[in-house]
A and B are shown apart, each in its own frame.
Chain A
Amino acid sequence: MVLEREILPFLVWLLPRVDSDGVLQLGALLLVLLIAAALLVASLFIAYLRMIIVQGPGEGFYAVAKSVATAVTKDFPNTSWRRIGAMTKLAILESLRRRVLIVFFVFALLLLFAGWFLDPASDHPARLYISFVLTSTERLMLAMAILLSTFSLPNDIKNRTIYTVMTKPVRASEVVLGRALGFCAVNSVLLLLMGVISYGFVVRGLSHTHTIDPDELEMLVDAEGGQVLSGRTSFDVGHRHDLTLGPDGIGRTGRRMDHEHQVWVEGEGENRRYRVGPPEGALVARVPIYGSLQFMDRTGRPGEGISVGKEWTYRQYIEGGSLASGVWTFRGLDQRQFPDYIPLEMNLSVFRTYKADIVSPVAGTITLKNPTTGLTSEALPFGAQEFVVYTHPIPRALKAVTAEGTLIDVDLFEDLVDQQGDLEVWIGCSDAAQYFGMAQPDVYIRGQEGSFAWNFAKAYLGIWLQMIIITFFGVMFSTFLTGAVAMFATAIVYTVGLFREFILKLVGGELDGGGPLEALLRIVFQKNVQIDLDMGPVIDRAVPVFDQLLLFFLWVAAIVFPDFSEFNTSRFVAYGFNISGNMLLQHFLVTVAFVIGLSIYGYFFLKTREIAA
């Protein structure tokens, strides 16, 4: 699974630090405080400018100061949960009477029809099913959140029902908070319902079994002289498995389409039946232990990997048949967690410069090294194919090469893992003129197994957090915009948040083709991104200036708005990786920060709005 951004430990993420490149990273806490301070100054300045126009500099200053003082000394301290509860209940009743539950039935209908189009016979059916349900839930839920949150308050103002509310001792903050919480509650129930039927849809959709024809089984003798049955299952749901049944009548099928089955024999003589269990291994939640990656160049010295010309620079490549390798350092390994072996998993990219046999794996080696003593194991061979997760259990008993070049028996934890629990894993490519592409998350040790159901629920928590942020944005915008404009503004926030990385690259000048206006002109006048714009001296000078201005606003938006792509954890579930609690905690804190900030903004917008104007 691709992880373009490292998931940092909670405190490292929260507090300032110096990263591996020696650059000071502010950390989430300081960043939020800085953004809040900048927004506070900018907001007060804009409010003051506005009040200068209306009331003059002296009165304007007094008005702004009074608003802030009233908020801090009167309105916020006198917030009543009963009033918030009243607004929440109103929002819930309003949503229910507007028949929002129909969305749930739309979703159920969507799943019914999806059954026709999702192919359980695809190479990775679990990925397909999980990605589909999570993506459709997310889109439907966020659309729902935008619609519910943005039209309610403007409708109240348009219908003047707000008159009877704002003439009660209700604070603007209570209106904003109550409304938002009400919509969040309704959407939460919807999300829960969607989650339950999605889970059932995935589990049922992937559930299947096979039969075994006894005539197709072949009797073999294993190394210890036992009788072993070998054969294959029936062809169902687009695949069949090879299988082996041991002398005890229990066995397993081979792995196909990310799963395998248990096989066993029931009965004796004429009543002898071969049974195949449900699919196993398709719905998993691996808990990976990631290491840090360092490349060795073709001379065996620390350096960088090679670019094979792909625009996506996520992975770097090592050359086969050379000393180039990727070195992962895993820290804090404990033999109590891995008493028998270390389950190393890898998902390397393969770049072939010749393709004589596209099906055969490209050969590589794994070497283990003690980072303190330098003791190195003998090379363990493996074969890598594109898009295949290769599992290599590293046994405790290994051979190591001494300084004198002799092979000795060593124990993985006693000799190769050092006192601190650190271990280096060197991966090289053996086939000359072939390349392995590597990124840090491509190789990991598979720790304990998490629960798939809980992992699935955690993905829904990610959607839930996004829904909360979107709802608060919607309500905040609706305090000063009309319903349609508030909806549009919220949709823009979501879009900017979704494409945050792209916008930051665009602002950073990493993409060709100029800013938005230049890109538009290039499309209209069919000028590709590699040639000059060349539309006359005035336009050539004016366009970059205008684009710089637009890009500045886009940059501010990308910095301030939430990174929704980060909240989308569906790929973790789809690829069978556990969503770490650490990451969820980070997302939760980000959500809390937005809820607080947006509530405060909503309060001031509503408080300073002439409701009856």
Chain B
Amino acid sequence: MEMPATSEMASTQDAPSEASGGDVIIQTQNLTKVYRDFWGRQKVRALKALDLEVRRGEIFGLLGPNGSGKTTTMKLLLGLLFPTSGQALVFGKDATDVSKNERIGYLPEESYLYRFLNAEETLDFYGRLFDMPAALRRQRIDELIESVNLGWARRRQLKEYSKGMARRIGLAQALINDPDLIMLDEPTTGLDPIGTREMKDLILRLRDQGKTVLMCSHLLADVQDVCDRIAILYQGELKELGRVDRLLTVQDVTQIQARGLSLEAQDEIKTVIQRHQGTLMSMNNPTSTLEELFLNIVRDSEARPGRRAQEKQ
């Protein structure tokens, strides 16, 4: 998927005011969400005092098993839910402030689009919601439909679309306003391997264009491939936060790579590499996979509930 270069946007896009924390695009402070029933009784504490910062130009991943609070976090940031306590700021504005949406693009977990509209009508509808003039809408619609390779199906109603096609038109609507912040909920769900690769390339390209991406995903390999920083949530609590490369580095293990050793020599290598004139190729700490890290955190959280994360830089 070849995304169009930044187009000139409506006046609201021209001079974005800087977020009140310098380069901080998203900031949550003590963000808590408790779901209650009709009578006001507490049902679930979905998010517990989340403190988070997402900075301009980074790809930030929210990870966690089902029910960990990552989708709740995203919905709170979008203003679809209201916090029970604490605060969520996006571009320095309260998350319930509608005007913040002018600079946000949102791709929901599933393609929650109007199935009776066709691709053109869909993008035109969302373009109008951004108050985009007709000429600019037409230009963006053409660009986006081509970029998601749906030119051949632009007049077909979405109810006739496959899941992958619906996902692509969903992505196009998320980008209709050339947003500064893109929130992607499970962006690779429903995509085939090629589509997944294209989606990951797109995310990286958006980052390269200076945009900020917040995504949550179950697919750890995808997160590992594209995210600069991640937050791992478990049962509504933040368990791990930091740069992906740092989080995946195993600090207390040294890894040595060597070449030209006989089988015998390899047996003794742990004690006397140099005595056998082997060439030391590298010596560093090995990295684990995100999957291992994730499972370790889940196991640790179950064994020691309540432990909270410190950001690892």
Contact = CB atoms under 8 A, between A and B. Distances in A.
Contacts of B75: 612
A378 interface: no
Interface residues of A, number: 34
B29 to A, nearest CB: 16
Nearest to A175: B129
A90 interface: yes
Interface string B13-31: 0000000000000000000
A168 B126 contact: yes
Contact of A80 (B80, B81, B131, B173): B131
Q: In the A-B complex, list the 10 residue pairs whose CB atoms are closest, starting with the nearest.
A: A86-B128, A612-B80, A97-B116, A168-B129, A160-B112, A167-B106, A169-B101, A169-B102, A612-B75, A161-B112
A259 to B, nearest CB: 50
A94 B97 CA distance: 28
Given A168-B126, A613-B35, A163 B112 contact: yes
Contacts, number: 87
A613 B126 CA distance: 23
B131 A167 contact: no
Contacts of A80: 131
Contacts of A112: none
A613 B36 CA distance: 9
B112 A169 contact: no
A183 B93 CA distance: 34
Given A80-B131, A83-B131, A164 B79 contact: no
B99 A166 contact: no
Nearest to B173: A164
A344 B28 CA distance: 80
Given A82-B131, A83-B128, A93 B99 contact: no
A358 B101 CA distance: 79
A390 B173 CA distance: 70
Which one of A53, A70, A167, A612 has the greatest number of beta carbons of chain B within 10 Å?
Answer: A167
A166 B108 CA distance: 12
Most buried by B among A54, A74, A170: A170
A311 interface: no
- Which of under 10, 10 to 19, 20 to 34, or 35 or more describes the interface residues of B? 20 to 34
Contact of B78 (A97, A159, A160, A167): A167
Interface string A75-90: 1001010110110011
Interface of B: 12, 35, 40, 75, 78-82, 97-99, 101-102, 104, 106, 108, 110, 112-114, 116-117, 121, 125-126, 128-131, 170, 173, 177
Interface of A: 53-54, 70, 74-75, 78, 80, 82-83, 85-86, 89-90, 93-94, 97-98, 159-171, 610-613
Nearest to A59: B85
A169 B98 CA distance: 5
Contacts of A74: 97-99
Instruction: Pick from B81, B97, B114 the residue with the most CB of A within 10 Å.
Output: B114
17 contacts: A70-B97, A74-B99, A83-B131, A90-B125, A161-B113, A162-B112, A163-B78, A163-B106, A167-B78, A167-B80, A167-B101, A168-B101, A168-B177, A169-B130, A170-B101, A610-B82, A611-B81
A242 to B, nearest CB: 62
Given A86-B125, A165-B129, A167-B101, A94 B114 contact: yes
Point out which of A78, A80, A85, A613 has the most chain B C-beta atoms below 10 A from its C-beta.
A613
Given A75-B98, A94-B114, A611 B80 contact: yes
